[in-house]
Chains A and B, each alone.
Chain A
Amino acid sequence: MNTLHTVNKSPFERNSLSSCLRLAAAESSILLFEDGIYAALQGTEFSETIQTALATHSIYVLVPDLQARGMSLEQVIAGVQAVDYAGFVDLTTTHYPIQAWL
């Protein structure tokens, strides 16, 4: 089973996302939640990073955290998949282990 990496920090503030991408094995998945959702948006310095990563990783964004921050699904990079908390739980059952990049 593939690893699920969780990233909860803004890429503008911390290196969690870049370290995750450096150390995530191919085919592993990444969930962006809390301030991590800022990486999922189009038109930022990190959009290209995410687009490139989509070639080797499934990437998910937690919609409740997106909405809480005034962002909508329309602004999310194509290919990044939307999940709610139930979807977050499902991801943790279909991946192993779960690795948090705090």
Chain B
Amino acid sequence: MKFAILVNEGAYQHQASDSAYQFVKAALEKGHEIFRVFFYHDGVYNASRLSVPPQDDRNINKRWSELAQQHQVDLVVCIAAAQRRGILDAAEAKRQGKDADNLAEGFRISGLGQLIEASIEAERLIVFGD
């Protein structure tokens, strides 16, 4: 079955990102397809490559990047939500005249249309939030 996932909260503050990750992993293990994981609201913070958690804790941001690499999962960050919260890819940083970018590997920044499209294309939309 084809799933779309919406993550509404950032890493660590809420369990939403952890639950979404465990769900996605279990779904992939069962042979399901993850059409897209869309990050909205504070969920965009999952895409920061500058997060440095303590060594004895899970690295939520890196875990997503690795998942994208291993399973070709499409990780999409909402551009409007990301710009509000200071998550920028290199192109956007340049366009906005910022001196740094911070989008982690495996993520891409795009519009809200990607969420709507995913909800239409997938057979199920599962929402994780607060």
Which A residues form the contact surface with B (CB < 8 A)?
6, 8, 33-35, 64, 84-86, 88-90, 92-93, 96-98, 100, 102
Contact = CB atoms under 8 A, between A and B. Distances in A.
A35 B125 CA distance: 21
Contacts of A89: 23, 26-27, 30, 32
A85 B26 contact: yes
5 contacts: A85-B26, A89-B30, A90-B30, A98-B127, A102-B127
Contact of B22 (A6, A85, A97, A98): A85
A97 B123 CA distance: 9
A98 B130 CA distance: 16
B100 interface: no
Given A86-B26, A89-B27, A102-B8, A8 B124 contact: no
Given A88-B26, A98-B126, 19 more contacts: A6-B126, A8-B19, A8-B128, A8-B129, A34-B16, A85-B26, A86-B26, A86-B29, A86-B30, A89-B32, A90-B30, A93-B32, A98-B127, A100-B126, A100-B127, A100-B129, A102-B8, A102-B129, A102-B130
B39 to A, nearest CB: 15
Closest 9 CB pairs between A and B? A85-B26, A100-B127, A102-B129, A85-B22, A89-B27, A86-B26, A34-B15, A89-B26, A93-B1
Interface of B: 1, 3, 8, 15-16, 19, 22-23, 25-27, 29-30, 32, 124-130
A93 B124 contact: yes
A83 to B, nearest CB: 10
Nearest to B125: A98
Contacts of B127: 6, 98, 100, 102
Contacts of B125: 97-98
